Amino acid sequence: MIKTSISILDCDFNNLQGEIKKINLTNANLIHIDIMDGSFVNNNTIKKFDMDTLSKYSNKKFDVHLMVDKPENHIEKYITPLTKFISIHLESKGDINKSLVKIRESNIKSGLAINPDSKISDLHKFIDLVDMVIIMSVYPGKGGQKFINKTFDRVKELREKFNNIDISVDGGVDSSNSHKLISNGASILVSGSFLMKSDNINNSIKNMLKEW
């Protein structure tokens, strides 16, 4: 089954309860939480996302995306009963193996995200510790960027090599590119403004998943 993960990076943080309750009423599978430390990327969102508050309001599982250096020092605070995935970046300064093992030992699925300018083959040595790969279709750090078309080939390359992992695509994903991403092997679609700013989120999800 193809899953959708709603990114709340651009949501109204002054009305977080209302935003989460709106998502609770949709057919989305996951809530995607973008954590940035101001080092790996310029933005810093650590104080924006309080996991206790999110857990209080949400009935969806969390898909936590750590855009941070030294991810092994951040993992602990995002372990909650609702956390399904915690993903770290291949390019981060830190111990990738240690971080992925720590996530799995917490009974949470491990993810490894890769930037558009990194080689897919650089993931291979970590794949036995990974449940999901996030292929970034924009450069990490801010929302609303234009989808990078070479992502289609990167998804296909990874899927042809590994059939037993989830492949998530994050950045600029909407109904104009979702069908080709799924055809090429994506199993999780992360979408932010396309869904959050939609008048009818369920209809927009349906358009993204049409034919699947």
Structural domains of the chain sorted by starting position, each given as residue range(s) with its CATH number in brackets: 3-208 (3.20.20.70)
Tell me the per-residue pLDDT of 96-143, one tens digit each, with 9 for 90 and over: 999 999 999 999 999 999 999 999 999 999 999 999 999 999 998 765
Tens digit of pLDDT for each residue in 156-169? Answer: 999 999 999 999 99
Average pLDDT along the chain? 95
State the catalytic residues.
34, 170
Residue 24 has pLDDT above 90, yes or no: yes
Q: What is the pLDDT of residues 131-158, one digit of tens each?
A: 999 999 999 876 567 899 999 999 999 9
Q: What is the pLDDT of residue 10?
A: 85
Instruction: Give the pLDDT confidence score for residue 129 in this predicted structure.
Output: 98
Q: What number is the average pLDDT over the span 46-65?
A: 96
Mean pLDDT for the stretch of residues 39-68 = 95
**By C-alpha distance, which of 9, 129, 14, 127 is closest to 67?**
9
Which range among 2-6, 70-74, 146-150, 207-211 shows the weakest confidence by mean pLDDT?
207-211
Residue 82 contacts residue 57 (beta carbons within 8 Å)? no
Q: Band of the pLDDT at 66, cuts 50, 70, 90? A: very high
Is the predicted pLDDT of residue 35 greater than 90, yes or no? yes
pLDDT at residue 144, as a whole number: 64
One-letter amino acid for residue 99 of the chain: S
Cα pseudo-dihedral 164, 166, 167, 168, rounded to 10: 180
Pairing of strands 30-36, 83-89: unpaired
Q: Which long-range CB contacts under 8 A does 141-147 form with residues at least 24 apart? A: 141/36, 141/41, 141/42, 141/43, 141/67, 142/41, 142/43, 143/7, 143/9, 143/10, 143/192, 143/193, 144/10, 144/192, 144/193, 145/171, 145/172, 146/172, 147/171, 147/172, 147/173, 147/174, 147/177
Res 55: pLDDT: 97
Per-residue model confidence as pLDDT tens digits over 10-20: 899 999 999 99
In this predicted structure, the answer to whether residue 194 has a pLDDT above a threshold of 70 is yes
Quick one: pLDDT at residue 141? 76
CA distances from 138 to 32, 95, 98, 134, 147 (A): 16, 24, 27, 11, 6
Instruction: Give percent above pLDDT 90 in the chain.
Output: 92
pLDDT band for position 174 (50/70/90)?
Answer: very high
pLDDT at 212 over 70: no
